[in-house]
Copies of this chain bind each other. A is one copy, B any other.
Amino acid sequence: MRDDGVSLDETMREMGERARLAARQLAVAEPAAKSAALRAMADAVERDAEAILDANRADVADAQASDASKAMIDRLTLDAGRVSAIAGALREVADLPDPVGTVASEWTRPNGLVIRRVRTPLGVVGVIYESRPNVTADAGALCLKAGNAVILRGGSDSSRSSAAIHAALVHGLEAAGLPRDAIQLVPTRDRAAVGAMLTGLGGSIDVIVPRGGRSLVERVQREARVPVFAHLEGLCHVYVDRSADAAMARRIVVNAKMRRTGICGAAETLLIDRSAPELVAPLLSDLAAAGCEVRASDEVRALFTPALPATEEDFRTEYLDAVISVALVDGVDGAIAHIERYSSHHTEAVIAEDQAVADRFMRHVDSAILLHNASTQFADGGEFGFGGEIGIATGKMHARGPVGIEQLTTFNYRVSGTGQTRP
C-alpha cells in the first residue's frame, strides 16, 4: 500500500473522509435499504462460504506456524457452522427495528412549541479488534443499522478471513444501492494504522470501539483522542446474603463462574455473608466439583479446608479461568464496601430473598449492570434483547453496559412552532 508513495497517514485520512461522506448518505438512508443490504450480505456470506473458509485456513496455518496460543487459534478458526452463524446474525440485525428517526421523547411547551428528541446516527465508528473474524460482520452490521459508517481494523492474524467477509459485506451494500464506503476495512497490517484511528483521522471518527484483550483496550484508552466505548476488564462479584435461597445461590454461583470462564461477565469473586457460615461449604464444594480452583481468605478456609489461600492480589485479578476468590463480608454493606474497593464496575450480582437487601445493593453499587437472583453471565447485549452488542462499556458517558444499536446513535431536538418568537 505504501509502495505507490502514498503515506499511511494520507491513506487513513482519505478513508476517514470517504467514511464521513458515506455517513451523510447513511444518515438519511431508508430503513428498507439498510435491511436489504444486511440480507444481501448474509446471502453473499453463504454464497462465498468456501472462499471465506479458504482464507481462514490460510490465516490459521500462519497462526499455527507462529506458535499462537490454542485459545487464539480457537478464536480465529471458522468452520461451516460459524460461517452460517455469521449469516444468521446479519439477518437478525436486518430484522431489528431501525432506530434512526425514532422519537425518544416528545413534549409541548406552554407557548405551543412541540419539542421532539429524535434519534440520529453518531456518524463514523472506528472498530479495532483482534483475532475473531466474525467481528467484521457483527460490527459492520450494527453500525450500518444505526446509520453509521464504520472503519474496521482487524487483527493481522485474521486479515485474510476479515477481507473475505468484508468483500461479502461490500457486495451487500452495493446490491442495496448504499455506498461501499459505509463499511471500510483498513487494508494494512501496519500497527501505525491503529494510532491514526485513535487520533480520529482529523475529526472523521466520532467514537472508537476496541474489541480485544486488556493490552489493546489499555492502549486505546490511553491514546484515543476521541470517545471510547470499552471496558478494561470484568472483575465481577457475586454476593450471597444470609437471606439467600441456598439452592438458588448454589446454582447461580456455579453458573456465574463456570458456564464460560473466559467472558467478561464471568464471576471472579464470591462474597458470602459472614453471618451465614453454613452457606460456605455447599457453595465452595459445588465450585470445586465443577472443576473450579478456590482461593479464599483464612476464615473461609477454616470452613472449607480444600481452598487455597487468597492474597490481596487475588481480589484484584480477573482470572478469565476456572479460578475464584472468596471472602466473607459483613452483610450487604460489607459487600458494597468490598465491591467499591475492588470492582471494575462492570457487573455484580446479589443473591437474597430479602428485598430490602437487594434494593440496597442495587442503589449503592455503582456498576454498569446489577443483577438480583440471576447469573452474572447474563451481562450480554443479546441477553438484554439489544439484538447483539458491539461491546460492553464501563464508562459513564453516553453508553454504559451492553453497547447495542441504540447506543450507537445520538439525538437532536426538533422543535415545531407556529411562528413563535421569544419575548
Q: In the bound complex, do residue A227 and residue B384 qualify as a contact, i.e. CB atoms below 8 Å apart?
A: no
Range for the number of chain A residues in contact with chain B: 35 or more
- The contact of A400 among B24, B115, B364, B412, by CB within 8 Å, is B412
Does residue A40 face the partner (Cβ distance < 8 Å to B)?
A: no
Q: In the bound complex, do residue B397 and residue A413 qualify as a contact, i.e. CB atoms below 8 Å apart?
A: no
Contacts of A421 in B (CB 8 A): 251-252, 254-256, 259, 374-375, 377
- The contact of A397 among B227, B245, B414, by CB within 8 Å, is B227
- The contact of A251 among B373, B400, B419, by CB within 8 Å, is B419
Q: Which of A236-284 contact B (CB under 8 A)?
A: 245, 248, 251-252, 254-256, 259
Assembly CA distance A414 to B365 (angstroms):
10
Contacts of A369 in B (CB 8 A): 412-413, 415
Instruction: Kindly provide the distance from the CB of A6 to the nearest chain B CB, expressed in whole angstroms.
Output: 27
Contacts of A113 in B (CB 8 A): 374, 378, 383
Does residue A366 face the partner (Cβ distance < 8 Å to B)?
A: yes
Q: Which of A388-411 contact B (CB under 8 A)?
A: 396-398, 400-401, 410-411
Does residue A99 face the partner (Cβ distance < 8 Å to B)?
A: no
Q: In the bound complex, do residue A413 and residue B227 qualify as a contact, i.e. CB atoms below 8 Å apart?
A: no
Assembly CA distance A252 to B113 (angstroms):
14
Q: In the bound complex, do residue B206 and residue A415 qualify as a contact, i.e. CB atoms below 8 Å apart?
A: no
Does residue A97 face the partner (Cβ distance < 8 Å to B)?
A: no
Contacts of A256 in B (CB 8 A): 421
Does residue A44 face the partner (Cβ distance < 8 Å to B)?
A: no
Instruction: Kindly provide the distance from the CB of A196 to the nearest chain B CB, expressed in whole angstroms.
Output: 19
Q: In the bound complex, do residue A372 and residue B416 qualify as a contact, i.e. CB atoms below 8 Å apart?
A: yes
Assembly CA distance A251 to B416 (angstroms):
16
Assembly CA distance A101 to B362 (angstroms):
10
Does residue A167 face the partner (Cβ distance < 8 Å to B)?
A: no
Residue-wise interface mask of A (7-43) relative to B, using a CB-CB cutoff of 8 A (1 in contact, 0 not): 0000000000000000010011000000000000000
Which residue of chain B lies nearest to A396 when distances are taken between CB atoms in the complex?
B410
Does residue A154 face the partner (Cβ distance < 8 Å to B)?
A: no
Instruction: Kindly provide the distance from the CB of A63 to the nearest chain B CB, expressed in whole angstroms.
Output: 30
Contacts of A413 in B (CB 8 A): 368-370, 384, 400-401
Assembly CA distance A401 to B415 (angstroms):
12
Q: In the bound complex, do residue B378 and residue A120 qualify as a contact, i.e. CB atoms below 8 Å apart?
A: no
Which residue of chain B lies nearest to A422 when distances are taken between CB atoms in the complex?
B377
Q: In the bound complex, do residue B422 and residue A375 qualify as a contact, i.e. CB atoms below 8 Å apart?
A: yes
Q: In the bound complex, do residue B396 and residue A123 qualify as a contact, i.e. CB atoms below 8 Å apart?
A: yes
Instruction: Kindly provide the distance from the CB of A135 to the nearest chain B CB, expressed in whole angstroms.
Output: 22
Contact A107:B385 (CB < 8 A) given known A398-B398, A412-B368, A413-B368: yes
Contacts of A372 in B (CB 8 A): 414-417
- The contact of A370 among B123, B414, B422, by CB within 8 Å, is B414
Assembly CA distance A254 to B206 (angstroms):
36
Does residue A109 face the partner (Cβ distance < 8 Å to B)?
A: yes
Q: Give the 7 A-B residue pairs with the shortest CB-CB distance, closest first.
A: A374-B417, A255-B421, A398-B398, A396-B410, A377-B422, A248-B419, A371-B415
A-B contact pairs, 26 of them (CB 8 A): A24-B340, A27-B366, A109-B383, A109-B384, A118-B362, A207-B397, A245-B419, A252-B421, A362-B414, A368-B413, A369-B412, A370-B414, A370-B415, A372-B415, A372-B417, A373-B418, A373-B419, A374-B418, A374-B419, A375-B420, A375-B421, A375-B422, A378-B415, A383-B422, A384-B413, A400-B412
- Not counting A227-B397, A259-B422, A375-B420, a sample of 5 additional A-B residue pairs whose C-beta atoms are within 8 angstroms of each other reads A24-B340, A256-B421, A369-B412, A371-B414, A371-B416
